[in-house]
Amino acid sequence: MVESLDKELRAITREAEKGPRECDLLLQVRLLNGQSGWFYFQVEVQAQHDKHFARRVYVYNYRVFDRFGEDVCSLAILADTSASWRPDRHTWQRFGCCLDFRFPTVKLTDLRPRLAELETSSNPFAAFVSFHLWTQATRGKPRQRMTAKLNLTRGLYRRGLSRDQIHKLWRLLDWLMTLPPPYALQFGEKLAKYEQEDAVPYICMFEQRGIQKGLEQGRQEGLEQGLERGLEQGLEQGQLAEARRTVMTLLAARFGQVPAGLDETLAGQNDLDELRRLALRAAQVERLEDF
């Protein structure tokens, strides 16, 4: 049995001294072997070098112990790119008194040789690690990142995961592997083509799918209006209208509402590139307030 102690974690965080001392995850665990009592696991995730990291792990270990009066097992997940930085010990000795605190670590870069295995595993954490490693490998390389993101998205359907797991993992993938607007649009087009050709049962990329569909409908509407006003003008107007609707639809589908007055604001926007940018933002923001 595992229980997340979010409320207790916030309380411990408030009690901490000023500074970057925030425990990432605190779990209360009862073992399945019948052993009585609860055990506490403190998990720290660190994505960059910090010379005080080992000390911070120790500080939160004793704070949790002080609060619950039970032994605490600390674990660190090191998500940085350095092969040599591996903090796993906090020690000091003075006037005959000494402390030697050690904790196990997992270095995500060590898992790179097992990337092929991680990409097909049904374990959601394995999926996250593969996303993280590819994000690091494609930093500053938008074309390679687009290809990797497409392959990882396709791979979600081969992992034997539930529809809900696929959707949540893809949201994480989309957050990690952001793409510049031109590549994001290409990605949406390629994914829509994959969906059509392979007839996958569920694509959690409904945001990009909506953008792609909007662009296609915009072209069609533009052709129809072009019969009356000229092909070029009609195409542009159709694209603008559908791009505006795409922004509204994405926000309504994701958050259940749209900001007040947004329809009027969009109606006055005649820059198609800007509307496409807004559609991408509507698909990517985590909160409506951030749009």
Q: 57 and 42 in contact (C-beta within 8 Å)?
A: yes
**Angle at CA 151, nearest 5°, toward 147 and 169?**
115
Residue 239's Cβ-count burial label (10 Å; 0-12, 13-18, 19+) is buried
Mean pLDDT of 115-137: 91
Domain positions in the chain are 2-110, 119-196, 205-280
Kindly report, residue by residue over 219-273, the tens digit of the pLDDT.
555 544 544 444 455 556 666 777 787 777 777 766 667 777 787 888 888 887 7
The CA distance from 96 to 276, in Å, is 67
Q: Provide the pLDDT for residue 134.
A: 95
**Angle at CA 68, nearest 5°, toward 71 and 18?**
100
Both tokens of 63, joined, read: 């704070």
The structure's pTM equals 0.61
SS3 content of the chain, % helix, strand, coil (to 5): 60, 15, 30
Bridge partners (DSSP) of residue 101 are: 90
The CA distance from 140 to 144, in Å, is 9
Binned at pLDDT 50, 70 and 90, residue 204 comes out as very low
Residue for token pair 């425990």: 23
- Strands 72-78 and 39-46, sheet pairing: parallel
Mean pLDDT of 85-112: 95
- Provide the mean pLDDT of the chain: 77
Q: Provide the pLDDT for residue 102.
A: 96
Edge-to-edge order in the sheet of strand 25-29? 2-4, 25-29, 39-46, 72-78, 105-107
Least confident of 32-41, 145-154, 168-177: 32-41
Q: 248 and 258 in contact (C-beta within 8 Å)?
A: yes
Nearest one of 173, 238, 248 to 210, comparing CA atoms: 248
